[in-house]
Homo-oligomer: A and B are copies of this chain.
């Protein structure tokens, strides 16, 4: 099993491919969420990050949305207001790389991409709850 720099578990990067960003999208392939997923597949994610297309993350007013999780010791994060453009893709690659390099998912504030700082929708504690 992959162990990141800190010996952590691999990370799952979940992309809501149902996202329409409120647009009148008729073709499934034109959904912004599908395009974001495709862009990330091309982007070159670090080893240890597994990309997944998932159903609606219920953050429809602030999509596109992604979630990061990885093993029982990391916090899970949901980020929003993303799209398939280069800036968003770079943000996600940078953010997930930082996240991968933590044991508990807690990236120091100043090391988070600015967009992640401002667009954290929610976070969920690790399965192994901190004391």
Contacts and interface: CB of A to CB of B under 8 A. Distances in A.
A98 B129 CA distance: 24
Contact of A57 (B55, B56, B122): B122
Interface string A88-131: 00000000000000000000000000000000111111000110
Could you tell me the dominant secondary structure of chain A's interface residues? strand
Is the interface on chain A under 10, 10 to 19, 20 to 34, or 35 or more residues?
Answer: 20 to 34
Interface of A: 14, 52, 54-59, 65, 67, 69, 76-78, 120-125, 129-130
In the A-B complex, the 8 residue pairs with the smallest Cβ-Cβ separation, listed nearest first, are: A58-B123, A78-B122, A122-B122, A59-B122, A58-B120, A54-B125, A121-B122, A67-B124
